[in-house]
Amino acid sequence: MELEAKIDRLPIDLLAHIFGFFSSFTDLAQASSVCKKWKQGARESLACKQNLSFAGWKMDDESAARLVCDAYNLKRLDIPRSCWGCQITDSGLTKISLAKCVGNLTSISLWGLTGISDEGVTHLVSRTKSLQHLNVGGTFITDESLFAIARSCPSLETIVLWCCRHVTENGLFVLIDKCHNLKSMNLWGTRIPVDCPKKLLILRPALQIKV
């Protein structure tokens, strides 16, 4: 009881600093349910994060969106497929796109999320004006997503389209034309024509292409 009383006297900013060391979102959620003060501390710890990764965690649309919305200073967001099964869908990406931090994100990874499509990706990238690195490898996106990326991500430097079998050279050419800072593109496992990389290099000789 004495220890609990001492913890209760800690200022919120110190609680937030302590909660920032939590690697488990489950632990953070449990801490936030203790009392209003701890809940505020947990929210402030998220607000300080610049990197957020759900790798290895079983997340759904609601929990992922809630955490991202509280991470006001977020720069890098990682939502990959995991052995636990990251159940993120288009609905989740749409909710995440409404978070205040999205416009400042410089890196997003949606690697292997088979539950998402052009609908969710388009919603998300439409607000990522600062995006430099994007990984949508192993998803079922089409040229529709590439067109949206080309419209909304002028600062894009790298993109991973590993095994995105529904993208075509048309989408890639639009991407090259609009994203003038593009330096690297991973096209391994796509179904683009054999001569497509050579055509892309004619337009952007310095581009690094992995096939």
Count of domains observed in the chain: 2
Mean local confidence (pLDDT), 151-155: 96
Clarify whether residues 102 and 30 are in a common domain.
no
Clarify whether residues 54 and 139 are in a common domain.
yes
CATH number at residue 113: 3.80.10.10
Clarify whether residues 31 and 57 are in a common domain.
no
Give whole-number Cα distances, 209 to 158, 160, 184, 192, 193, in Å. Answer: 10, 10, 6, 13, 14
Clarify whether residues 54 and 64 are in a common domain.
yes
Mean local confidence (pLDDT), 62-89: 84
Could you tell me the pTM of the whole model? 0.85
| Domain, as residue range, for 190 | 50-210
- pLDDT of 85 strictly over 80: no
Write down the pLDDT at residue 182: 98
Clarify whether residues 44 and 54 are in a common domain.
no
- pLDDT of 20 strictly over 90: no
What percent of the chain has a predicted confidence (pLDDT) above 90? 63
Clarify whether residues 190 and 95 are in a common domain.
yes
Measure the CA dihedral 60/130/119/50, to 10°. Answer: 0
Closest CA to 71 of 122, 19, 27, 119: 19
Write down the pLDDT at residue 70: 86
pLDDT in tens, 161-205: 999 999 999 999 999 999 999 999 999 999 999 999 999 999 999
120: tokens are 């969710």
Clarify whether residues 44 and 60 are in a common domain.
no
Mean local confidence (pLDDT), 32-45: 67
* Chosen domain end from 48, 65, 80: 48
CATH number at residue 7: 1.20.1280
Clarify whether residues 1 and 82 are in a common domain.
no
- pLDDT of 4 strictly over 60: no
Clarify whether residues 22 and 78 are in a common domain.
no
> How many whole angstroms separate alpha carbon 42 and alpha carbon 7?
14
pLDDT in tens, 100-145: 999 999 999 999 999 999 999 999 999 999 999 999 999 999 999 9
Clarify whether residues 20 and 102 are in a common domain.
no
Q: Is 160 helix (H, G, I), strand (E, B) or coil?
A: strand
**Which is higher by pLDDT, 33 or 205?**
205
Q: Are 116 and 139 in contact (CB under 8 A)?
A: yes
Clarify whether residues 57 and 44 are in a common domain.
no
Clarify whether residues 6 and 74 are in a common domain.
no
The most confident of 36-40, 69-73, 85-89, 182-186, by mean pLDDT: 182-186
Amino acid at 23: S
DSSP code, position 60 = B
Write down the pLDDT at residue 14: 61
